[in-house]
Every structure is written in structure tokens, then in C-alpha cells.
Structure 1
Amino acid sequence: MHPRSALTAAVAVAALLAPAAPAFAGSTAPAAQTVDVSTAAQLRAALAAAVPGRTIRLAPGEYRGSFVAQRAGTAAEPVTLTGPRTAVLVNDGPSGSAPSCPAPTPGWDSGYGLWLAGAPYWNLTGFTVRDSKKGVVLDGSPHVVIDGLYVHHIEDEGVHFRRSSADGVLRNSVVEYTGRVQPAYGEGVYLGSANSNWGCHGNTGGADRSDRVLVENNRIGPYVTAEGIDVKEGTSGGTIRGNTFDGRGISGENSADSWVDVKGSGYLVEDNRGTFAAPGTFANGYETHNPATTPSFPNGCGNVWRGNTSDLGGVGAYAIRITSVSACAGRPNVVYASNTVTRATAGLTNIPVTP
């Protein structure tokens, strides 16, 4: 055999005998496009080794423990975590010593069912999160799409877009039975952070800008003990559309007495359907408030309601109550006549209706 041919043959044999790349290879090696997991340990390993374009596929079953993702996808190649509704994430935490501001820390279990921390461009689809301190928490994780999740029996809030997790989506999901331990903090969906927490969750010297989040076609409630959606001051430009709010079980604690409380600005709230029936504490369907308002950033202003259907159960006053007109003089809230209300003690809204 010619020496060059012998060398070529030897290289070919060596390639055939070389060990396969590990299932969770780093980004410097060819990455498997789909990784199947069926145990909690496999899920933790897959989250730790996620690379753009990879799909992590959950088998049916229960996954117990702390599940944190800190790897980024890209716009062209997001990371996907997917599974059937019978794939269930459960976190029995928290445990250990918490840092002053929540951040993934060795020796501390946050108790979150699923935590994306600095992990933009993920898709979360299909599976269930239950029996955890918080359900799904996004920190510094913009461009995350949550589709078809079932989040229930959560101690505090169900889904939280936090620490400037902007341009996200929550759609086609069910959030119910939240606030099981702390009713005052049992929001179904939480957009942004209260100004008292901007020191931890805001941009440097500023607000938590979890802006332009789309919340669409979800069922929120019953037994969501705080607001179905709490839109925090400092956020802007989001859309709340086509959701069903079941107000049974609203606690009234910490002023939680409406389906949606809009403290952000420039939100479109349209084509939602809300109902209320006992038990619960209920004041109005939708409310606005204006905390931390400044002339340059008027919180709770410039929001638009249209096409919403509200049944206040003979208990609530207004379908849409605007707390302050004067605070939003330069950027008023707008309530269109396409909104309808039944069984209200006061009416559709407390401001003039726009045709």
C-alpha cells in the first residue's frame, strides 16, 4: 500500500474508534440538538450545559429539586425546555442562607420551581410547575416565551418577569391556586418589581424595566389570592389580551382586590373576560395606581382598555377604576365603549368613556 494511503486508512480507523462526544458537551464541541431527560439530575445537567438551538425534552414524571438555567440562547437559536403536562417540576425549598438580593448562590435553594437567571431567548412549553415557593421566575432574561404551562399550588406568585426581563411572552397557560402560604404575595402573573425593590431588581439607579411583555390567552384563577396580573410601576408597553380571569379566592390582603392592577404605563388591555363569585374580596375588575410617579415617568398612565367583558358578581364597583385623573393629565388612561360590564354596583368606569 502506498504510504499516503496507509496514513489515510489509519486516520479513518481512528475516527471510527474515537469515543462519541458526551451528551452535554460544551459549546466548543458539536452539540446534540435534542437532549431527553427523565430524572432531576439529568435535568439539572441539561440546564447547566444548554447551548443555543438545543431542545431539552422532559419525559413524563416528577422532577424534584432546584432547577436553574443560566445559559443564553440567541434570537436565531433559542433554547427550548419542553414536556407534556405530566412532566412536573416541584421544589420543596427554600433552604440555606439567602443572599441579600436573590441570585443563584451555592448552598442556597430559592424554592423557585424554575428559575431563569441571565438566560435570554428561551422557550418554555407544555410542562407543569407546582408545590414550590414561587412558580417560574425570570431574572435578567428577556425574550423568553412561555407557552402552555400549568402553574398551580404555589406559595407566592405564579409567574414573575423580573429584573428587566423584557419582550417576553406568556400565552396559552393556566395559573391557579397561588399564594397558598402568603396570600398577599400570591399574584398569578407579576410584571416588574415594586419601587421598594428596585435596589435589587432595578437597572442601576432605576426601575425594573420588564417592558413590552405580552400576556395572552391564559386562564388565571381561581384561587389566585392576589391580583391575577400585577403590572408594576416602571414597566411600560405591554399587552394583556384574550385572558380569562376567575376571581374566586382573591384575598384582599395587601390591597389585592382586582383581576389586574396596572401601575405601569402604555399598556393595552383588550378582549379579556373576567368573572367574580364568592369566596373572596373584590373591589373592581381593573384598577390603576400611580406609585413613584414623576413628571418624566408618569406611572399608571397612558393605558388603554377595549373589548373587555366583565361580570363583577354584584360585588365589585367598577369594571375599570382609574385611581387618579390628575396624575395622568399629560398622558390619560382611555376606556373605550367597547368594554362591557354586568352586575356592577357602580358601573363600567369612573371616567368618561371614549366612543
Structure 2
Amino acid sequence: MSSRSSSRRAVFLGAVSISAAVAVTAALGGPAPARAAGVNLSAAFARTSVWTSGYGGGYTVTNRGDTAATGWTVEFDLPAGSAVSSSWSSVRTQSGRHYRFTNAGFNATIPPGGTENFGFNVAGTGLPTGCTVDGLPCDGGSQVTTTPTTTPATATTTPATTTPPTGDVVDVSTAAQLQAALANAAPGQAIRLAAGTYRGSFVTTKAGTAARPITLSGPANAVLINDGPAGDAPDCPVPTAGWDSGYGLWLASAPYWTLRGFTVQDSKKGIVADNSPHTTIDGVTVHHIDEEGVHFRRSSADSVLKNSTITYTGLVQPGYGEGVYLGSANSNWGCHGNSGGVDRGDRIQVLDNHIGPFIAAEPIDVKEGTFDGVIRGNTFDGRGISGQNSADSWIDVKGIGYTIEGNTGTFAPPGTFANGYENHNTSTSPSFDNGCGNVWRNNKSDLGGVGDYAIKISSVAKCAANPNVVYASNTVTNARSGLTNIPVTP
């Protein structure tokens, strides 16, 4: 894959005028569809964060019937002086003070007893009124009104006067506190997230050391969300005043960080490490991301991603929706090639993660010019691989000298799938034997009757001096062609 787009999220943040009047609503696509027999939906509102001039909130849509819902629409009004400023996990339209939210593609189906959620930020303090779900009262009653239920405030994004954190342990519970902790982090500090939702731009340029790394940790229900991007982006992505990258968490020239336990979701990109070698990501959850989930970029070498779960990436740009992205395409080395003109994301280890389903591009994309990584013990669920931008395998290896072992991969529809593992020999300047010298052993592959080979080697001749090796310990089931297209090494 090549360059990345910096466009705002079209699926989650678009706003198109519609009328609250029935006639105009019909002209823009008709009223909400009638409920299927046996579907009984309700929608409950809750605020998740509160600040001086607004709040964050959302609805939980519950199917109380005995038949799966295949789509939903929630509508409500806000009083004068209040307006939805951003939203996610839905498609939003608006006419005056009337708002209409329909499901996104990934959360349309609600099985009996199941729930789906969508959220939004409001500028102003007015709460929703007149809520309907598929044209009927949200609470299932006879009146089209809703008394919103509030929950205690959690994280906020409004800048606040915050004393710069000091000490070896820094506890944070608001977005402003987290931003201050990241801006003032010092070697050896442990920043601890309380449970809650943190909305905003979270970036650090502070470095730890080998002896005193910096740790950011929290429970899985400590959730980082970035509703950006916003502002004018620089030619190459670096932290810039007035620009919000949209990244859920961004380490920029910040080596020796450990990230542990928390969740990143509903952001343009998930976690990005730029020029941040020796980054450890352990036990995080990344999901519902517009582009890639985790990206080690600008020579963020000697880093580790382990024990983590990544699902639902590429929601807006499927061809750029890798689960894990190691290095950069050589077409982007002009920005990211900070090691002699090359992005040298060397010796990165990807260990014991669960990647998929609905990773729109490859679960792991190993870029040219990177060396000697280890990809071990991972589980790949190939459902949802899109086929866009040549994404049609669990791993595409253009790097050199990688060990790929002990992984388990499966594929089942929906999706586009050619082979389990592929390599490609990309030409670069300076020249490397890209896609060569890689080793596969002890991998288990189930190609679902769709894929050709478990391991497809694009060229033997191009790697004559540094051949790829496929050991007989690899196994495959449900393949159209077999284990591999090259001789197997005992």
C-alpha cells in the first residue's frame, strides 16, 4: 500500500440536511423502515461525559423481540442552543434541531436480546427529547418522549487548568488530565487510567529510557477516542499546533514507552508510534478504526505488540485498514524514511495477538526495508478482508529475514482471500532483497475452501541469494492448491 489520506471520517461524521416533516423526510429517502415481525426495539440515552459547555452521550439500542433486527433508526430533537458537534458508529442527518441517526454497516444487525450503540458530542447542555426508534417511542410506551438517564461524568475533552503531574505514579480520570500527563511525562513514570471514556487528541513527545521506561496503563474499559482529524495537516505528519491527527494515541519521537490494558476505538488510526523505538504494546484492544489499527512507523524498531486484540479496521478506507503495519511503503519514505532515507522498523515482534475479524486490509502488513522481525503465536480471523489495495491474505511480507511461526489462521466469508501468507519483492532505492530470507514454520492454516496456498512465494529467482524457507511443520486444510508453491524444507 502507498500513501494515506487525511480526510475526515465520512461514515461517522457526515451531516446532510433533512426535514423533520414527513413529506421532506420521504423525499430524502423515505421514513424509517417498518419493523420486521418479532422485532421490538428500544433505545436508552445516557450521558458518558460532561463539561462546562457540553457533554458526550449516546444511545443503546436493544432488541427485546424474538427476531433479529437488520437495521435501525433513532431520531430526537435538541432544544435551542444545543447541537450535535460530532458522532460515531452511525450515519447522522439533521434538519434544524431534529436529528436522525441510522446504523453504520457494522452495527446494523441486532439479534434477539442483543444491543448496539452509537454516540455523539453535544455543544450545549440541552438533552434529547421526543426520541423514536424506527418511528416508535424509544421506551416502548405510547408517548414519543424520553426522559434521559444520566450517568456520572467520566473523561472530558474541555481544556482545564491542570497542575502538571509529578511523581512516579500519575493517576488520571479525565481527558484533560491525560493530555497533561502525556505532555509532561518523565522517565520512570507510570500513568494510570481510571475506567471511563477519554475523548480528545492524545499525543506525547516525551521519551523514556531503557532503565526507566514510561508506562501508560488502564483497564479495558478505559477507552481512548479521537473524533478528529481537524485543522490543516502538515505535508508530513508531525505534531503541529492547530492540527488534530485523528490518531487514538500517538507516540512521536517518544521511545521506551509501555502501553498496557486499555482500549482505543472510533479514531482515524488506532495507535501510531513514530520514531519511537522500544515501544511495548501489551494487552490492548483496538477496534472500529477508520484506517489501520497499530502502526510502527519512522524506524520504531525493537518494539513489541503482544497479547492484544484488533478488530474492525478500515471502516472508512478499507484499502488502508491493516490490523498491524510494520514500517512504510517506499513511496512514503520521503516523509517516514528517517534512517538513511528508509523507514527501518527492524526487529519488531508481533506475539500472541488476536487479529480479526473484519480487518479490511491485511491483519499484518510487513513493509519493504524492514529486517529481522518475529511474528509468532497469533490468531488471524480473515473474515472481512476486503481485497482492496491488494489486501487478500493474513500477512503480506515485503521485509527481509522475518520468522513467522506458530500462528493459526482461518478464513470464512465474507471477504476476498487469495492465499494465507504472501511475499512480494518490491524494488527500492537504496536496494534491499525485499521479500527474501523469511522463514515459515509450525503455522496452521484453514483456507476455508477459498484460498489457493497457505504460503505463496511470489518469486524464487529474485531471492536466490537469500531464499525464503517453508518448513514441513506448517499444515493446511481446505486449500484449493496446497501448502505452498515452492519445495518444502523438512
TM-score between both structures, scaled by the size of structure 2: 0.66
Which residue does the alignment assign to 2:369? 234
Q: Cα deviations across residues 44-89 of structure 1 (Å, max 9, x unaligned)?
A: 0000110000000000000001000110000010000000000000
User: Helix, strand or coil: the match of 1:190?
Assistant: strand
Task: Tell me the distance in 2 between the aligned counterparts of 1:36 and 1:108.
Answer: 27
1:286 aligns with 2:426: no
Which residue, 440, 443, 447 being the options, matches 1:305? Answer: 440
Q: Return the offset for 1:23.
A: 5.9
Which residue, 219, 224, 234 being the options, matches 2:354? Answer: 219
The equivalences for 1:31-42 within 5 A come to 31-42=166-177
Are the counterparts in 2 of residues 23 and 32 from structure 1 also a CA contact under 8 Å?
A: no
Please, which runs of 5 or more residues in structure 2 have no aligned partner? 1-161
Q: Cα deviations across residues 103-129 of structure 1 (Å, max 9, x unaligned)?
A: 000000000000000000000000000
Which residue does the alignment assign to 2:164? 24
User: Helix, strand or coil: the match of 1:131?
Assistant: strand
The one-letter code sitting in structure 1 at the alignment partner of 2:260 is T
The equivalences for 1:99-138 within 5 A come to 99-138=234-273
**C-alpha spacing 1:70/1:294, structure 2 compared with 1 (3 Å):** closer
Q: Cα deviations across residues 191-227 of structure 1 (Å, max 9, x unaligned)?
A: 0000000000012552100110000000000000000
Amino-acid identity (%): 73
Task: Tell me the distance in 2 between the aligned counterparts of 1:302 and 1:127.
Answer: 36
The equivalences for 1:256-271 within 5 A come to 256-271=391-406
Are the counterparts in 2 of residues 227 and 260 from structure 1 also a CA contact under 8 Å?
A: yes
Task: Tell me the distance in 2 between the aligned counterparts of 1:303 and 1:322.
Answer: 10
1:191 aligns with 2:315: no
Are the counterparts in 1 of residues 330 and 428 from structure 2 also a CA contact under 8 Å?
A: no
Are the counterparts in 2 of residues 199 and 205 from structure 1 also a CA contact under 8 Å?
A: no
Which residue does the alignment assign to 1:12? none
Are the counterparts in 1 of residues 170 and 181 from structure 2 also a CA contact under 8 Å?
A: yes
1:325 aligns with 2:465: no
1:97 aligns with 2:97: no
1:149 aligns with 2:149: no
Which residue, 407, 416, 420 being the options, matches 1:272? Answer: 407
Task: Tell me the distance in 2 between the aligned counterparts of 1:345 and 1:204.
Answer: 42
Task: Tell me the distance in 2 between the aligned counterparts of 1:298 and 1:108.
Answer: 38
Deviating 4+ runs (over 4 angstroms): 293-296
The one-letter code sitting in structure 2 at the alignment partner of 1:95 is A
TM-score between both structures, scaled by the size of structure 1: 0.91
Task: Tell me the distance in 2 between the aligned counterparts of 1:141 and 1:155.
Answer: 23
The one-letter code sitting in structure 2 at the alignment partner of 1:161 is F
Which residue does the alignment assign to 1:202? 337
Q: Cα deviations across residues 223-248 of structure 1 (Å, max 9, x unaligned)?
A: 00000000000001100000000000
Task: Tell me the distance in 2 between the aligned counterparts of 1:273 and 1:280.
Answer: 18
RMSD of Structure 2 on Structure 1 (CA): 1.2
Q: Return the offset for 1:304.
A: 0.1
1:51 aligns with 2:158: no
**C-alpha spacing 1:295/1:190, structure 2 compared with 1 (3 Å):** closer
Are the counterparts in 1 of residues 292 and 323 from structure 2 also a CA contact under 8 Å?
A: yes
**C-alpha spacing 1:296/1:96, structure 2 compared with 1 (3 Å):** closer
The one-letter code sitting in structure 1 at the alignment partner of 2:360 is T
**C-alpha spacing 1:78/1:313, structure 2 compared with 1 (3 Å):** same
Which residue does the alignment assign to 2:316? 181
The one-letter code sitting in structure 1 at the alignment partner of 2:225 is V
The one-letter code sitting in structure 1 at the alignment partner of 2:469 is V
Are the counterparts in 1 of residues 291 and 313 from structure 2 also a CA contact under 8 Å?
A: yes
The one-letter code sitting in structure 2 at the alignment partner of 1:119 is A
User: Helix, strand or coil: the match of 1:42?
Assistant: helix
Which residue does the alignment assign to 2:200? 65
Task: Tell me the distance in 2 between the aligned counterparts of 1:270 and 1:60.
Answer: 36
